[in-house]
Structure 1
Amino acid sequence: MDTETHERTADSPTRSAEHVTELAASARRAYALIEDVGRWPLLFAPCIWSQELERTGGIQRIRLWAVVGNGVRSWTSRRVLDPAGNRIDFAQETPAAPITEMSGHWRFQDASPGSPGRLELGHRWTTDGEPGAADRIAAALDSNSTVEIGALRAWAERPEEPDELILSFSDEELIAAPAAEVYDFLYRADLWPERLPHVAGLDLESNPAEPATAGAEVQTMDMETSAADGSTHTTQSVRLCFEGERIVYKQTTPPRGLLAHSGEWLFSSGPEGTLVTARHTVALDPAAVESVFGPGTTIAQALLRARDIIGANSRGTLRTARSHLEQGAAE
């Protein structure tokens, strides 16, 4: 992949950079993947969670949580969608210091005779003059942009349509306990090895909520999971904890057979207790289908099998939470 970085002057706080690669897929297909921000956690390794806040005509507002450098940061952006021109322009609404301005674009071009297709991600940013800030931002942008443009190219060039590889599903459990107690059971993942039979081990680190994370406490965890056949596998995850409301997570190292797995726990109080919803979205790795799920397994069958395995674990977690909390209330 070719990368070009352009600087106004060596000591200027304003910089610009373009990350460019050839694209052996239609510009429209690549454009659609970027327009659908809800799937970004599946497409892009740095992205933990994404939301479309509103859309009016060709103007869209989004919020992202992503790994930037050594931490997780959140921001909102205004995007101008131009499907006819295969271009999306964006600008952060309230950049966090030391950034004072951040804008850019996605641009997609179809191949033409003698010229390959083109995928371009551009950025322009200004910092507050803090020594070394422009260089730190440039390094973080270069790292994330290189990953993102490579991932987008890979998804756009796949022979399968995204909908063939992606599945979303959910399970629910009504628990006769206050929402705060139900939330705490799922929040205290450090206690899961004692409480959940499918969790063989877990290491957890937490960072308190702050404005830079839009009020989310950030947890990182390494979890060893026991399968029904006695085997174990280890996954790494980042969780965004919004106290009493939801816990959003993404497996940054998903198990074999999956390209990505993200989800959330949602809590809703009612007269009979707390309704907990476990939502999952998975992206299947087509190259690993037969080695993981067995010879002759189709992509559709593998998705259903993944749903059964992942759903069984989350349903088991919810049943254990219900038993733990309702039994405790009765004692």
Structure 2
Amino acid sequence: MTTTDTYLTTHGITVLAPARTVYGIIADVADWPQRFAPNVHVEHLERTPGAERIRIWATAGGEVKSWTSRRELDPHGLRVTFRQELSAPPVAAMGGEWTVTSHGDHVSRLELRHDFRAVDDDPAGVRWITSAVDRNSESELAAVKALAELGDSLGELEFSFEDTVFTTGDPALVYDYLYRADLWPERLPHVSRLDLKEDPAGQNTGGRDTAGRDTAGRDTGGGGEPRVQVMAMDTRTADGSVHTTESVRVCFAPDRIVYKQTTVPALMTAHTGSWTITPAGDGAAVTSRHTVILDPGAVERVLGPGRTVADARTYVQRALSANSTTTLRHAREFAEATARG
């Protein structure tokens, strides 16, 4: 494997918000799946003052990629530099920086620079990376601008909530039920269709027993690497309406699945969530968590004239909670019934 040429890109945008507000969005990488369309999930691997090491799952060029990066944070200079430690082909190496420049109390300039090399300096790889960087950079810059310019109203639009059930069943069976989303149309009354495909590279793993297989006996890759799933699903809500969503899930066997909806219902601009299984007394607590950002412009169009963001919060939480609770209860019943034989 040889790499030679380094390619440079710069993208920028003017934001009608204070520079420190803009910097805060860039610095808070844990919230990026909610903030940026390409980002699916972020795991902190290390944290020290002014630096962090993270693993990111994100969509790029129509594929789900994962890489490990180190970031250096400079809150005084309003700069964040980053360098990938382990890149995903066709990227051989990548780094860059975010810089925020103040142009007054409520105007700032945000720039995002990348430098990268392609594996074997392959022209097709260079084109793929350039296209992905251009597309994702423009998307991320636009998202920062929109969020920063929302100001305090973001707090009204973004909210999180959880639902939990307790089970005495085998936690591994609960995980398998949540992991085997391909079976949900047969198992769950609110799921009418679900198309699922797993990471074609086989570099991730989920739903494993100690032999590296799920309860259906399928080889899941072994080695403890999370498995990535991409799925499209039609769900019915209590009022009978059907919503089509598309999601990317990262499955951390044996106790956690995180996901991001890449296509969301009309009332939302972002929706991320997780399924977690934790020991509790003589059994396990199984929790579904949702974080949502509402689209204020869609409220009256979807719910009717005169309806408010508060109405939308209630509607969305009720709908998501009802379906999640149904899934949790069925997972519990599956695990406990299996234990009874």
Q: TM-score under structure 1 normalisation? A: 0.88
* C-alpha displacement of 1:295: 3.7
The equivalent residue for 1:309 is 319
The equivalent residue for 1:123 is 114
Is the counterpart of residue 140 in structure 1 residue 132 in structure 2?
yes
Mapped to 2, the partners of 1:294 and 1:312 lie a distance apart of 22
Match for 2:91 among 99, 102, 110?
99
CA-atom RMSD in angstroms: 2.5
Percent identity for Structure 1 against Structure 2: 46
Match for 1:256 among 254, 259, 266?
266
Q: After the TM superposition, which of the residue ranges 92-101 and 214-223 deviates more from structure 2?
A: 92-101
* C-alpha displacement of 1:62: 2.1
Mapped to 1, the partners of 2:151 and 2:302 lie a distance apart of 20
CA deviations on 1:205-235 (whole Å, 9 max, x unpaired) are 1226416998222211111111212221111
Match for 1:241 among 251, 268, 272?
251
Matches within 5 A, 1:1-331: 13-112=5-104, 117-132=108-123, 133-207=125-199, 209-210=202-203, 215-269=225-279, 272-331=282-341
Paired residue secondary structure (2:120): coil
CA 1:37–1:275 in structure 2 vs 1: closer, same or farther (change >3 Å)? same
Q: Is the 8 A contact 2:65 2:88 kept in 1?
A: no
Mapped to 2, the partners of 1:325 and 1:100 lie a distance apart of 44
Q: Is the 8 A contact 1:49 1:65 kept in 2?
A: yes
| 1:255 alignment partner AA | P
Q: After the TM superposition, which of the residue ranges 14-23 and 134-143 deviates more from structure 2?
A: 134-143
How many residues align? The count is 320
| 2:159 alignment partner AA | L
Mapped to 1, the partners of 2:48 and 2:122 lie a distance apart of 40
* C-alpha displacement of 1:203: 1.4
CA deviations on 1:174-227 (whole Å, 9 max, x unpaired) are 222212211111111121112111112211112264169982222111111112
Q: Is the 8 A contact 1:96 1:212 kept in 2?
A: no
Mapped to 2, the partners of 1:313 and 1:39 lie a distance apart of 24
Paired residue secondary structure (2:293): strand
* C-alpha displacement of 1:19: 0.6
Q: Is the 8 A contact 2:204 2:228 kept in 1?
A: no
CA deviations on 1:52-90 (whole Å, 9 max, x unpaired) are 333322112222110122321222222121222221111
* C-alpha displacement of 1:304: 3.4
Paired residue secondary structure (1:157): helix
| 1:53 alignment partner AA | L
CA deviations on 1:113-161 (whole Å, 9 max, x unpaired) are 9x96311111011234342233322222112111111121121122544
Q: Is the 8 A contact 1:22 1:117 kept in 2?
A: yes
Query: Which runs of 5 or more residues in structure 1 are unaligned?
Result: 1-10
CA deviations on 1:239-298 (whole Å, 9 max, x unpaired) are 112221211111101111111111111122456233211111111111112333444443
Q: Is the 8 A contact 1:265 1:278 kept in 2?
A: yes
Paired residue secondary structure (1:93): strand
Q: Is the 8 A contact 2:4 2:121 kept in 1?
A: no
CA 1:234–1:128 in structure 2 vs 1: closer, same or farther (change >3 Å)? closer
* C-alpha displacement of 1:318: 0.7
Q: Is the 8 A contact 2:166 2:284 kept in 1?
A: yes
* C-alpha displacement of 1:104: 0.7
Q: TM-score under structure 2 normalisation? A: 0.86
Paired residue secondary structure (1:45): coil
| 1:320 alignment partner AA | H
CA 1:228–1:97 in structure 2 vs 1: closer, same or farther (change >3 Å)? closer
The equivalent residue for 1:6 is none
CA 1:212–1:198 in structure 2 vs 1: closer, same or farther (change >3 Å)? closer
Mapped to 2, the partners of 1:206 and 1:138 lie a distance apart of 26
Mapped to 2, the partners of 1:188 and 1:323 lie a distance apart of 15
Query: Which runs of 5 or more residues in structure 2 are unaligned?
Result: 207-223
The equivalent residue for 1:8 is none
Mapped to 2, the partners of 1:328 and 1:212 lie a distance apart of 24
The equivalent residue for 2:211 is none
Mapped to 1, the partners of 2:107 and 2:139 lie a distance apart of 21
CA 1:45–1:212 in structure 2 vs 1: closer, same or farther (change >3 Å)? farther
Paired residue secondary structure (1:129): helix
CA 1:128–1:329 in structure 2 vs 1: closer, same or farther (change >3 Å)? closer
